[in-house]
Amino acid sequence: MARLVILDRDGVINEDSDAYIKSPEEWVPVPGSPEAIARLTRAGFQVVVATNQSGIARGLFDLETLHRIHARMHRVVAEAGGRIDAVFFCPHGPDAGCRCRKPAPGLLEEISARLGTTLEGVPAVGDSARDLEAARAAGARPVLVRTGKGRRTEAAGGPALEGVPVFDDLAAAVDALLAGRL
């Protein structure tokens, strides 16, 4: 069985926007992220994305647009030599009370069920406290990057950050993982 890494999308793989990523043109990779995913692919890791996409519930974009955004992400990562094996997303708004919107662990539990594997020890890389909380609740290993909302998350501190390794970006986190330091 392949080793697994779970990545948040906005702020980890691509630049985040408080106005949401609403089109493929607005999807801009964080420098070094596509190449970092390529290194994971070459090292035999399965790379899966778990992302809240409440812009759908807010009416900012539809499912077809989200699929086009993800097609761009897949293409950019493939051009760097990498592969994203699956994308799991929550389309609900913050007040929907669903189980799939992070910080709830539903998306990660779905990944575990679909792949038929435990998430114990699986790195789950995010840039927000809700990413870290979802990872911890699902039994995965939370990892924070400073890109996206990561610097704000780190500065805010709190229980979500306890014992969580922090890296400048996805490339640095992947360096540590591949070197056995994560």
Which tokens belong to 28? Answer: 């801009």
pLDDT band of residue 72 (cuts 50, 70, 90) is: very high
The whole-angstrom separation of Cα 60 and Cα 56 is 6
Look up 8 and say whether it is catalytic.
yes
Look up 18 and say whether it is catalytic.
no
Distance spanning both ends of the chain, measured CA to CA: 19
pTM score > 0.75 for this model? yes
Which tokens belong to 101? Answer: 């919107």
pLDDT band of residue 2 (cuts 50, 70, 90) is: low
Return the pLDDT at 143. 98
Please state, for a pLDDT cut of 70, what percent of the chain lies above it.
99
pLDDT band of residue 1 (cuts 50, 70, 90) is: very low
Domains and CATH numbers, the chain: 3-123+131-178 (3.40.50.1000)
Q: Which of 8, 127, 131, 169 is catalytic?
A: 8
Q: pLDDT tens for residues 88-111?
A: 999 999 999 999 999 999 999 999
Q: What is the CA radius of gyration of the chain?
A: 15
More confident residue, 136 or 2: 136
Q: pLDDT tens for residues 117-165?
A: 999 999 999 999 999 999 999 999 999 999 999 999 999 999 999 999 9
pLDDT band of residue 63 (cuts 50, 70, 90) is: very high
Return the pLDDT at 80. 98
The whole-angstrom separation of Cα 73 and Cα 99 is 25
Q: Is residue 40 pLDDT above 50, yes or no?
A: yes
Could you give the strand order of the β-sheet that contains 166-167, starting from the edge strand earlier in sequence? 86-90, 45-52, 3-7, 123-126, 141-145, 166-167
Find, among 148, 142, 156, 102, the residue nearest to 127 by Cα. 148
Place of tokens 């996206």: 148
The whole-angstrom separation of Cα 157 and Cα 176 is 22
Return the pLDDT at 71. 98
Averaged pLDDT of the chain: 96
